[in-house]
Structure formats: C-alpha cells, structure tokens
A and B are shown apart, each in its own frame.
Chain A
Amino acid sequence: MNNDLKKTPFYDKHIKYGGKIIEFGDWLLPVQFKGIIEEHNFVRTSCGLFDVSHMGEFLVEGPDALKFVDNLITNDAVKLAVNQILYTPMCRENGTTVDDLLVYKYSNEKFFLVVNAANIAKDFAWCNEVKNKMKANISLKNLSDSYAQLAIQGPKAEAILQKLTKTDLKNIKFYWFVEGEVDGVHCIISRTGYTGEDGFEIYFDPAKGHHLLDKIIETGAADIMPIGLGARDTLRFEAKLMLYGHELDDETTPIEATIAWTVKLNKPSFLGKEVLLGQKEKGTKKILTGLEMIDKGIPRAHYEVFHEGNKIGYVTTGTQAPTLKKSLALAYLPPELSKIDNVVEVKIREKFLKAKVVILPFYKREKK
C-alpha cells in the first residue's frame, strides 16, 4: 500500500472491528465491516457509527466574517441564526461548484466550515482567493488536522448519544448545533448527517477523544454497529444527498443538480449569482434525474444514457438500493427527457437496457 496515504485517528479501531480497508482519495478508510447491505439496513432501523474524520474543517473569524461567507456561498448566511447550520454549495462566477459544505454559525464574526476531504486543498485556496479579492478583514484557518469527527446516525442515535452527554439532545433541532461534552470530551454536537436518517455529528480533538469510538459502540451495544464507506454511499444515494465528484463537480452547477433550494437568488450578490439566476430563469441543458431500471441490470457511475439511439446523458451514481431493493441511478439528462415515467436506455456492457424516470428522492424517512 502507498505509504503517503493518511489514516484517521480511528484507523486502529477499524482494524479492531474487522473493517475492510480501502484507499479512498488520500485516505485509508473502511469500506465495510459486516457487509454493506446489513450495515445499510441497520442504520435505517437502528443506529450506525461512522468515522468521518477525513472531512475538512475551516474556521473563519473577524469583522468581515459574515460578509465573506455570504459572498462565498449560494445559500443565505445572513438569515442563519447563531448555532444554526446551513448546507450549501460554493460556486465560481460561472456557476460551477467548487464544493458543497456545511456552514456553522457562532456569531457574525465566527463561522465554522465543513468541507469534503478530497477538496480540502482546493477549497482552502479558493477561500483565500475570495478573501483577497474582497479584501475581507478575516482570518481563515484550515483546522482539518485538529478535528476528529464521528457520525451517529439512525432512529436510535439520539437515545444512544444521550447516555453519554448532559446536553439535552432533544433541544437540538435538525441542522442546529451546540458545544457540549460527550463522555467528558469537549465536542461540537450537531444534528446533521449524510444518511437520510435522524442523527448527530460530533467534532472534537482527536488527542482527547480517541476513546469515544469504543465508548459509543459499548454504549449502543446491540443497537449500534460501525459502518463503512460502502453503506455511507448507498444511504446517501437513496436519500439523494450529493456526493462531490459524482452529482456535483467543477463543471456542474447547483441548479443542474436540482438543489436550487440552496441557491438564494434574492440575496443582493454572491459568487455565481448571475449565471445561476440565468439558469433558473431559462433552464439548463442537463438536470439531475432519478432512474429505475425496468430491464435487469445495475447502472453505475459514468454509464451512458440513450434515447432513441442518441446519447443523452450519463449516470452519476447507481447501485442496487438496499432499502428499496431496486436497481436505481442518479443521472444527468436533458430536462425535456427527464419527465416522470419517461423511458430511456442505460448502456450496460454493450446492452441498451430500459429504465424509467422516477421521483426523487428515492427514499424519504417517515417523520415522527
């Protein structure tokens, strides 16, 4: 194995729990423990623990912090309350997506940004470029190596995590956060996740919280299991949560990705506004579309999509969906061919197999 690959603080725990380790970008991470389908279903019905310490964290502080963040992102940082979190893309002037991220607001002078692991260097360079162009009076720190992150996800997540903290988790609403202690370790505790289930993500100093992974597993006992990247991907896919490098990339806009709700065109200005406004008004050439296979076969990323013999688009993610037990794909198609029930063909190993357009998201949990 490549010695330059990075390990999270919990690498030894992944080995201990029987994780099958793979290379994921620059990282060595577990793709599965007991099996992707079993892990996937366990998160939907009970609780899963994910090591997501590879994610990047930036801290923005200073008098111009709000002005900077609001210009950087397409969603609305001004309306964000203290202790509230935003999911948002950040775009270039031409509307293409640098990354999608979470923005945590401490105050108008302090924001915490959580970015994708594969994009940490690119994003930090981009943020600095924006900062310099705006002459923003802020300090921008890349704290990615100073934070470990665990995600506790599933219907039993709150009950399990509550046993380890005095913070009343019921008071944390979806996409809000507090600082508190988990088993004596100072953490950011946020009600967020990437599975389509209820759950929490906690951020902490890895030197102080190395025992937390074991502690959470012990506390959850039969109701929790460690989950690998494989199930993380199928869970987020069913819930139509974006994976950068698949649904979003340097050539795709959030309007095309059908996350227009994260693009607040009524803001006075932000990077990419003009192009995104134009796309919203005039439409786009491609739009993210859900497909369900009619013929037998499994669509995969990069497979081509055809209609009446013409190539019309491509798959961004596809798999046999464990909860829904259907062969599904997210694909970019022309809007006129992405109407519900429209039939297209996915090219799978030289065969043209029928699929129909279905409503997104594929999976939505029942709210209590």
Chain B
Amino acid sequence: MSNYPEDLRYTEQHEWVRVEGKSAYVGITDFAQHELGDIVYVELPGVNQAIEVSEKICVVESVKTVSDVYSPVSGKIVSINVDLEDNPEVVNEDAFGEGWMVEIEMTNPEEIQALMTAAEYKNFVEEAAS
C-alpha cells in the first residue's frame, strides 16, 4: 500500500517535496506511481531554468498514459535526476527516494507552508478514493 513519509510536503497533483536548506527536491508520490503503473519514460527539464509554482516541470509516461508533473515551488532548477532517463522504473520502485526528479533552488521558501503535510495528504488520497 501507499506510504506517506512524515518529513515531506505534498500537492493535490500528487507531487512531493523534500526541503534541504534552500533546495527543494521534487518527485511524484508512491500513490501516483501506483496509479500510473509501469513507468517507461520521464521527460526532465533543462537545468538553470527558472520556474514558477504550478508550472509544468516534467512529463511521466507509463505504458498507457502521459502525465504532467507540476512544480510545487518557484525557483530555479539546479539539478535533475539523469538516472531516470535510462531507468524510469526507479520511480515505481522508490518514488520518495531514488525516484526524485528535480532539485529546485527556492526563491520563496514560504510556498512550502501552503503544501499539505503527510497527514493531510493521506486524508486527501483516502477521501478521493472513497
């Protein structure tokens, strides 16, 4: 079943954020990877690109579907997980860890406060399912 790490923040589009200093690491949640099924391609953005909150940053493709990933925060993309280009299935295997997608240097760290906590996100997922 899906899990919900306490140290992350979450969006309604099923992205997660891990804050480390000024950096925000972003990926899709375990629930999202499970819903998508076998992930076969992750399209990553260019580094040094400035992005706004809610802007499209990645595209995740499963065998059957194409889904966009939106940035939970504003800032600049400082690194991307290039390993996903050859091993997109890592997102299925470790969505909250090795399956991270981009690192964003935040310009407005307060944006994090607007995101859901683990408990809030868990409720959000369970309510949507019922």
Binding site for B on A (CB under 8 A): 20, 31-32, 35-38, 230, 233-234, 296-298, 300, 319-320, 322, 327, 349
Would A298 and B38 count as touching, CB distance under 8 A?
no
Binds A, one of B7-15, B23-31, B59-67, B107-115: B59-67
Would B41 and A230 count as touching, CB distance under 8 A?
no
Would B59 and A349 count as touching, CB distance under 8 A?
yes
B residues near A31, Cβ cutoff 8 Å: 64
Would A320 and B63 count as touching, CB distance under 8 A?
yes
Residue in B43, B61, B63, B66 whose beta carbon sits within 8 Å of that of A37 in the complex = B63
Would A320 and B40 count as touching, CB distance under 8 A?
yes
Would B41 and A320 count as touching, CB distance under 8 A?
yes
Task: Say yes or no: A298-B37 contact (C-beta < 8 A), given A36-B63, A230-B64, A234-B63.
Answer: no
Question: Is there a chain A Cβ closer than 8 Å to B85's Cβ?
Answer: yes
Would B61 and A298 count as touching, CB distance under 8 A?
yes
Would B38 and A36 count as touching, CB distance under 8 A?
yes
A residues near B38, Cβ cutoff 8 Å: 35-38
- The CA of A38 and the CA of B89, in the complex, are separated in Å by 13
A residues near B63, Cβ cutoff 8 Å: 36-37, 230, 234, 319-320, 322
Would B64 and A319 count as touching, CB distance under 8 A?
yes
Q: How far is the CB of A195 from chain B (nearest CB, A)?
A: 15
Q: How far is the CB of A91 from chain B (nearest CB, A)?
A: 30
A residues near B62, Cβ cutoff 8 Å: 36
Q: How far is the CB of A346 from chain B (nearest CB, A)?
A: 13
Residue in A230, A233, A297, A319 whose beta carbon sits within 8 Å of that of B37 in the complex = A230
A residues near B61, Cβ cutoff 8 Å: 298, 320
Would A36 and B64 count as touching, CB distance under 8 A?
yes
Q: How far is the CB of B106 from chain A (nearest CB, A)?
A: 26
Would A349 and B43 count as touching, CB distance under 8 A?
yes
Main SS at interface, chain B: strand
Residue of B nearest to A229 (CB): B64
A-B contact pairs, 6 of them (CB 8 A): A35-B37, A230-B63, A230-B64, A319-B63, A320-B61, A349-B43
> How many chain-B residues does the 8 Å CB contact rule pick out?
12
Choose among A20, A297, A320, A327 the residue with the greatest number of B CB atoms under 10 Å from its CB: A320
A residues near B85, Cβ cutoff 8 Å: 296
A-B pairs, top 4 by smallest CB distance, nearest first, are A320-B40, A36-B63, A37-B38, A298-B41
Q: How far is the CB of A299 from chain B (nearest CB, A)?
A: 11
The residues in B between 51 and 70 inclusive whose CB is less than 8 angstroms from any CB of A are 59, 61-64, 66
- The CA of A230 and the CA of B62, in the complex, are separated in Å by 11
Residue of B nearest to A37 (CB): B38
Q: How far is the CB of B93 from chain A (nearest CB, A)?
A: 12
Q: How far is the CB of B64 from chain A (nearest CB, A)?
A: 5
- The CA of A298 and the CA of B39, in the complex, are separated in Å by 12
The residues in B between 61 and 86 inclusive whose CB is less than 8 angstroms from any CB of A are 61-64, 66, 85
Task: Say yes or no: A300-B66 contact (C-beta < 8 A), given A349-B43, A349-B59.
Answer: yes
- The CA of A175 and the CA of B61, in the complex, are separated in Å by 36
Q: How far is the CB of A322 from chain B (nearest CB, A)?
A: 7
Residue in B37, B43, B66 whose beta carbon sits within 8 Å of that of A36 in the complex = B37
Residue of B nearest to A231 (CB): B63
- The CA of A234 and the CA of B62, in the complex, are separated in Å by 12
- The CA of A233 and the CA of B43, in the complex, are separated in Å by 23
Residue of A nearest to B35 (CB): A20
- The CA of A296 and the CA of B59, in the complex, are separated in Å by 13
A residues near B37, Cβ cutoff 8 Å: 20, 32, 35-36, 230
Residue of A nearest to B56 (CB): A349
